[in-house]
Structure formats: structure tokens, C-alpha cells
Amino acid sequence: MRYAYYTLAFVVVLLLSVMGFRGMTSTRPPIEVFPDMDHQAKYKPQAHSEFFADGRADRPLPAGVIPRGRSAGEPDAAFLRADDFRYQGKNADGSFARGFPADLVISREFIERGQSRYTIYCAPCHGALGDGNGITKSYGMLVTPTYHDERLRAMAEGEIFNTITHGKNTMFSYADKIAPDDRWAVIAYVRALQRAHNAKIDDVPLDQRQGLK
Ligand code: HEC
């Protein structure tokens, strides 16, 4: 019987400590078992400071500071990524742009950069040849399209840029993995794959045709 009282008392204390003070407010600071980094010697934005003569915690910019995205020679030039073509694949009217941004040089190196990015990020689904037969197909991803149909061959470069940036249906976005200029490199490589897939004998230099026929 004695144990029953002990147990009852224990349960009452337990209930009170867990639920008894719910909803009660206190003006005292909470007990902090682990204060983590809640209290730091730092200024909040636009706060007052005793340290600086003008009393402001925010300091004025030193002379000659240039906002990120502008260069010293042209402090009034547009901010970084103001170029819709290069960073969104779009024309001023919002339609998908064709071709490549004028600032990018489509060199062999550029296309090889695209090939390396393509092999890492796209080939698992779209296949090394761009025919949609990547390794994921054997694991059940059957919907990956080939690049070699009319629609994708005719698709504006800007729309492919948009697909890499934002993804499409089951294909997710690669914006966090492939930098904008690298996306253009990937597109150049996709174009190379498409061109290679539809090559004619006339595309092969004369002296190399012999072995092909
Ligand atoms: C996880 C698999 C996967 C990866 C990786 C992947 N894709 Fe896709 N991609 C798809 C699928 C699935 C579709 C079809 C989406 C749809 O239209 O439903 C697609 C569609 C496309 C299309 C056609 C979009 C359209 O409008 O029809 C393009 C272009 C494309 N991908 C390019 C790329 C490029 C470039 C990469 C690499 C940066 C890439 N994909 C990486 C699965 C993938």
C-alpha cells in the first residue's frame, strides 16, 4: 500500500512539472541550459554605437567602393546578371533567345568544358550520345527524351538554357550545380551531339572519307 502512495505522489509531481505551468508567463529571462550563441557582442543593423564619434553602428562606405557586379571603369554599368540572354536565355520581349550570348566565344575548349559538365550531370539520364539511353533507363526512368528528334533540334538555345536552369517535369533544376556560362557550354555540346548524329558524308573531310564507306 505504501508504494501506491509513493507512486501517486511521483505521478502528481511528474504531471505538475510537465504540464502544470503551461501557459504561464514570466518576465524573468528563461533558464538557458545551452546558450549556444544567443548573446553576441555585435551590432544589429542601424543600431547605436558609443564607439564611433557619429554614434552610428553602420559605417559609411570607404571612398572608391564599387558595388558588386560593376567594374571600376564603369561604376554606372548594369548590375551583374542584368543580361537576360546570358542569364535567362530570353530576349527582351520574354521569348526564348536563339544562338549564344555574344560575350561567349564558342571555341573547342568551351565545347570540351560543356562535354565534361554534360558527362557529369546529363549523361546519366540523357546518355553519352544524347539519345536518352542513360544508365537511369535500366533503373526505370523511361521518359528521358532523345535530343535527336525534330523538336529538340529546332528548340531555341535559350529554351534549353531554361530547362537546365529550372528543370522540366521529372527533370530537376541544375541551376545550383552548373554555373550560367557552363550551361551555355553544355548547350554547345548538346548542339555538337545533335550535329554529329545527323552528319552527312559531306561533313567528313575528303581525305578521311575512304575508311567510312
Ligand atoms: C534525372 C535525369 C535527368 C538528368 C540528369 C537530366 N535530364 Fe534532361 N530530361 C529528363 C527528363 C525525364 C526529361 C523529359 C521532361 C519532360 O518533358 O517531361 C528531360 C528533358 C530535357 C530536355 C527537353 C526539354 C523539353 O522542353 O522537352 C532537355 C533539352 C534536357 N532535358 C536537357 C538536359 C541537360 C542539358 C541536362 C544536364 C544539365 C539534363 N537534361 C539532365 C531527365 C534528366
Ligand 1 geometric centre to CA of 34 (Å): 47
Please tell me the distance from the alpha carbon of residue 12 to that of residue 71, in angstroms, as a whole number.
Answer: 71
Q: Which one has a higher pLDDT value, 165 or 74? A: 165
Q: Which long-range contacts (CB under 8 A, 24 or more apart) does 46-54 make?
A: none
The pLDDT of residue 75 is 53
For residue 208, tell me if it sits in a domain. Answer: no
Give the pLDDT band (50/70/90) at residue 124.
very high
pLDDT at 78 over 60: no
For residue 126, tell me if it sits in a domain. Answer: yes
Please tell me the distance from the alpha carbon of residue 91 to that of residue 83, in angstroms, as a whole number.
Answer: 9
For residue 176, tell me if it sits in a domain. Answer: yes
Mean pLDDT over residues 191-203, rounded?
91
The pLDDT of residue 28 is 87
Domain that holds residue 144: 96-201
Give the total number of structural domains in the chain: 1
For residue 134, tell me if it sits in a domain. Answer: yes
Q: Which one has a higher pLDDT value, 170 or 1? A: 170
Is the minimum distance from the CB of 70 to ligand 1 under 6 angstroms?
no
Is the minimum distance from the CB of 124 to ligand 1 under 6 angstroms?
yes
pLDDT at 80 over 90: no
Mean pLDDT over residues 152-178, rounded?
96
Please tell me the distance from the alpha carbon of residue 132 to that of residue 114, in angstroms, as a whole number.
Answer: 18
For residue 53, tell me if it sits in a domain. Answer: no
> Where residue 179 sits, what CATH number does that domain have?
1.10.760.10
Ligand 1: atom nearest CA of 124 is: 5
The pLDDT of residue 49 is 93
Grid cell, residue 14, equals 511528474
Is the minimum distance from the CB of 164 to ligand 1 under 6 angstroms?
yes
Ligand 1 geometric centre to CA of 82 (Å): 26
Ligand 1: atom nearest CA of 123 is: 5
